[in-house]
Structure formats: C-alpha cells, structure tokens
Amino acid sequence: MEFEVSTELVGIYLEDAREHLAVLDAVLLQLERDGPSPDAVGSLLGPLHTLKGNSGMIGLIAVKDYVHRLEDAFTRIRDGSLALTAPVLQLLFEGATALREAVESVGASDGPERDLAEETVALDSLLAAPAAVGPPVPARETPASSPAATAAESEAPESAPEKGRTGRAGDPGFVPVRSSLVRVDFAKLDLLLNLVGELIVHRTKLTEMGRQVAAVVPDAGQELADSVHQIASVSTQLQETIMDIRMLPIRHVFERFPRLVRDLAHSSGKQIELVLQGEDTRVDKAVIDEIGEPLVHLIRNAVDHGIEAPEARRAAGKPPTGTILLSAAQESSQVVITLVDDGAGIDAAEVRSRAVERGLVGADEKLTDREIIQFIFAEGFSTARAVTDVSGRGVGLDVVVQCMERLNGLIEAETIPGAGTKFTLQLPLTLAIITVLMIEVGGNVYALPSGAVVESLRYRRSDVVQMHGRDTLRIRDRIIPLVHLADHFGVASSTKGEEAYAVIIGRGEKRLGLTVDRLLGQQDVVIKALDAVVSGETLGVAGATILGDGRVVLVLDVAALFEGSRARGGRGAARPEAGA
C-alpha cells in the first residue's frame, strides 16, 4: 500500500473483499458447469466494481487495476465478444486465486504483498486478442453490494442529473441510504456473554433463596417468587439473544469448498462433484473459526484417497464422476457434520500393513476391521506410498482429531470397501455456555461436558476384564479402558453392590469409561477458569461452576482424563486398536 491506513479499516476491507471473492469463485464454478449465463455474469459485475473501488480507497493500486481488467473480461463475456473456452476459464480461475492471495497479504503482519504483474500481463493478452464472435448475453443491472460501494462509484464519471433530481435532501428524487448492520468486535460479545453468565449464576441463587423465603413467609415469598420468575424470563431471553448473535450459518465454512474440490480434481485428473446440504445450520462463530481446517483435510483425503480415477470407476461399474456429500444438521445441542464419498473405501489390510510397519500393532495381534480403521487417525499415519501436493506426509486426519479434542467433539469413520467412506463429526453448537452431565462420586458432585459423553450405562462388576494391567469393559465391538473416579480423586465410593454406573466419554476417535456412583442429570453452566495449581492433567479438572445453592462444582477436563489414563495404563492402553 502506498499510504498508511488504520488496522480497523484494513479489517473491514478484508471482510468485505472475502465476500466479493467468494462470489467470484461461485460464478466461475457456475460458468464452468453451465456455460455462459446472463444471471451469473450480471451478478458478478457489482461485487467486482465494489472490490475495485474499495481496493483503490485503501491504496491497493495493483489489486484495483487487476480487478478493473477482470471487469473488462467479464463484460466481454457478457457481450459475447470473448468466447468462454476452457483455457479462458482456467486463466480466470488462476487469476482469482492470485487475487485472493494479494488481498490476504494485506492483512499479513510480515512478508511482502502479493505481486499481480504476471497475472495482469496474462489478462491484458487475453483482452488484446481479436474479439470472438458469439451471441451477446443480455445485460443485467447490478447494484453495488455493500455500503463501501459509495467509494467505488466515485471513480465513475459524473453523468448529467436526471430531470427532477438535484441531489438535495429536500428534493423528491433524493433517497437516503441507511445500513441496518453494525460491526462489533467478537471479543465484546464474549465479554457480554460472560456478564450474562454471572447473571445466570446469581439468578439461580436468587431462585433458591425465593424457595427458602416462601417456606417461612408465604405471602412475601410469593411476591419474591413472582419477581424472580420475571428476572429469570428476561435473563433467559437476554442469554438466548446473545447466543443467537454469536451464531452464523455454517455456509461461511462450506462455501469455500466447491472451489477447493474443483482445483484438486483438476490437478489429479479426476471428475468430482461436491454436494452441499444444511448450509443454513447455525453454529457459534468460535466453532466456525475452528472447523474450517479439519474439513479441508477431510476433503483433501476424500479426493486423493477416496475417489478413484474415471477409468477405475468405469471398470468398477461406477459413473466416471465421483460424488462427495458434505452436510450439516443440528441435533439437540450439537451440530453433526458428515462427509461421505462414493470412492474405493478404506482398505483395512493396507492400513494394518502400514500400522505393523510403524510398530503401532503386533503382526499377530487380532483386531477387528473397525479397530484397524482407527489407525488412520494416528499422528503421522498415511497409506500413500509417495508424497504428493495433496497427501503422503502423514499430516491430515491427526489434525482433524486434534481439532475435535480442542472442541470437545467426536469423530467416527465408517467404510465399505468399494462403496465409499463416511466421516461423522459431532460438535457442540457453542463453546460459551455448555451443557454438562452432573455425576456424583464419593458424595461429591462433578460436572462432565455433555458433548464428550457418548453414552451412560449400568454394568456388573463381574464384566470387568483386566487387560494390560488395567480394568476394561467390552461394549459391543470395542474394548473400553476404565477410570475409577473414586480412586482418581482419592475418595471412598458409595456404591458397594454388584452393579455400578459407567459414563463412556469420547475424545476424537478414542473412548474411555468413567465409573461413577450416581447420575444426577443435565444442566447448562458457565465454566470459570481455575488457577493452574488446582487444574490441568494431574487432577483432570478444567474449571468450576456454581450451582443454585451456592456449591462450587468442579468441571472435569476430558482431555486430561485421557492423558492421565494413557500415563497410568501404559502406551498399549490408549492405542486406537484398544478402543480407547
């Protein structure tokens, strides 16, 4: 940039530019799929014009000039004087990629800005070529798509005012423009939500006090109860409103993937169609910010390892074009994201062979196919024999698992050889106010994040089996290591009979059983951080919350419980094949 602009203005520019670049990608994909379209070409010119004006406003002259040339190219496509051939489309796709890199480099704290000289020369050569003969595409009026377009319009030559319009506010032709949007820093929403969390805690305490007063002074207690009820209603609406403000449609993540799949398919010589479902599912922005990277890895994995080449698909009796289905849906307090491909599936024998090579499992150890498949989530694991731009380095699915662990989410993999693979991700809708399962151990109450709870069950102590020097339970086709929370916290269990309760928790693809005395039900809580001296892996405590009666309840740290289980049980107890 030729002059200094404020960080805030750069941030506003980047957010606006990303929206316009998303439109550019979407239109290019539509043109490649459907051919020239009046609606598609027309819908793009407005965002491009706005992006050009905004770029010039903050001094990005190279970006501004390149976008101006893009406008010329799409105008010629619209008029039919530029044939939309495959080489032209590829040039536009490459230009869109370079343009995105140039825009993103503006917000980078280090490194030079992306130079667009090579792309500009290529586009100039395209525009200088003789006009191709083709039917003109009817023009469509494209209004500017953001308030920043006011700056963009200032570049256009002034035209003569229309009759009856002088531009003054008192004239009938003057139409004032008002925006219904306000940009708010996400940190302020976090602060507001924390304050609401405090309000909820004290609301719960006030409700309990109202019950106590009503028991002693019925009349005064009833008035207090009515007031508390009103406060509870308003505070609940306030909490729901703030939570709704934080929620965004998951399309903000999904919309970047059609272009990704198109480029990966083009570079690998495959034919792939990406189908998106449930883009309107709303998720907390904190989850939106985290989930993008793991989904990229899953899609790259599906393209490289899942979908076969057209010739191989024809030989297997499949259509030459493979399909990847990415969907999202809300289920209770969770969002479930599934990614399904109709490719070759996962070869359990190949996975086992690579696991044996890496020493993850013994050659003679008996494992089910389901247990073998879990090795694909191991750090550095890859079945690719050669390193490519897409895969082979063993970095991918382990990144997905790490993200699931940070978000207290779960991931499952299912596969049918020759038919395809399905990955299911379960994530909390929000990371702010969480739902917990209240459990009792040795007379003490603890809170366990419900997002990590797979199931709860009653078992007989005679069903416990010793493996690798530790207690385990077989649940269906998995061996689940057990952690006795009474022993973990150094308290005496109140359950002495043959039957006991266990809560099965998940972390990524791993499973762990926690033995408890009682299950007390679910509750929404606000977690308060604790000092590192009394939290972390040693105790397995993530924080604390306050109940309505004033009691402080410790919130268990799922990740720390798994790490503690690994340390106590040895390496073999926490391996994927053991079901942990």
| Fold that domain 250-428 belongs to in CATH | Heat Shock Protein 90 (3.30.565)
How high is the pLDDT of residue 110? 62
The CATH class that applies to domain 7-153 reads mainly alpha
SS3 track for 14-56: HHHHHHHHHHHHHHHHHHHHHCCCHHHHHHHHHHHHHHHHHHH
How high is the pLDDT of residue 537? 55
Architecture of domain 433-578: Beta Barrel (2.40)
Q: Is the pLDDT of residue 68 over 70?
A: yes
480 and 462 in contact (C-beta within 8 Å)? no
How high is the pLDDT of residue 136? 41
**If you average pLDDT over each of 12-26, 47-61, 270-284, which comes out highest?**
270-284
Q: Mean per-residue pLDDT for 79-102?
A: 88
393 and 382 in contact (C-beta within 8 Å)? yes
Rounded Cα distance between 294 and 72, Å, is 38
> What confidence category does residue 568 fall into, taking pLDDT thresholds of 50, 70 and 90?
low
> What confidence category does residue 515 fall into, taking pLDDT thresholds of 50, 70 and 90?
very high
Count of beta carbons in the 10 Å neighbourhood of residue 74: 23
How high is the pLDDT of residue 178? 56
pLDDT digits (tens, 9 = 90+) for 117-144: 888 888 888 888 765 544 443 443 433 4
How high is the pLDDT of residue 327? 95
List the structure tokens of 474. Answer: 């077989």
> What confidence category does residue 326 fall into, taking pLDDT thresholds of 50, 70 and 90?
very high
Q: Is the pLDDT of residue 151 over 60?
A: no
How high is the pLDDT of residue 153? 40
* Range in 21-25, 315-319, 445-449, 534-538 the model is least confident about: 534-538
* Range in 176-190, 303-317, 441-455 the model is least confident about: 176-190
How high is the pLDDT of residue 445? 93
**If you average pLDDT over each of 197-201, 357-361, 475-479, 483-487, which comes out highest?**
483-487
pLDDT digits (tens, 9 = 90+) for 468-495: 788 898 888 788 999 999 888 888 887 7
How high is the pLDDT of residue 456? 92
> What confidence category does residue 59 fall into, taking pLDDT thresholds of 50, 70 and 90?
confident
Tokens 């299911």 belong to 424
Q: Is the pLDDT of residue 341 over 80?
A: yes
Q: Is the pLDDT of residue 569 over 60?
A: no
Radius of gyration in angstroms for the set of CA atoms belonging to the chain, rounded to a whole number: 29
How high is the pLDDT of residue 124? 87
Q: Mean pLDDT in the chain?
A: 79
Looking at the chain, the whole-number percentage of residues with pLDDT higher than 90 is 18
How high is the pLDDT of residue 243? 82
| Annotated domain spans of the chain | 7-153, 186-246, 250-428, 433-578
3-state secondary structure of 433: strand
pLDDT digits (tens, 9 = 90+) for 177-195: 455 667 787 888 888 877 8
Q: Which residues contact 395 (CB under 8 A, 6 or more apart)?
A: 380
How high is the pLDDT of residue 56? 83
> What confidence category does residue 81 fall into, taking pLDDT thresholds of 50, 70 and 90?
confident
pLDDT digits (tens, 9 = 90+) for 213-262: 878 887 777 888 888 888 888 888 888 888 888 888 998 889 889 988 99
Residue 508 class from Cβ within 10 Å (0-12 exposed, 13-18 middle, 19+ buried)?
buried
> What confidence category does residue 348 fall into, taking pLDDT thresholds of 50, 70 and 90?
confident
How high is the pLDDT of residue 566? 54
How high is the pLDDT of residue 385? 53
DSSP state of 113: P
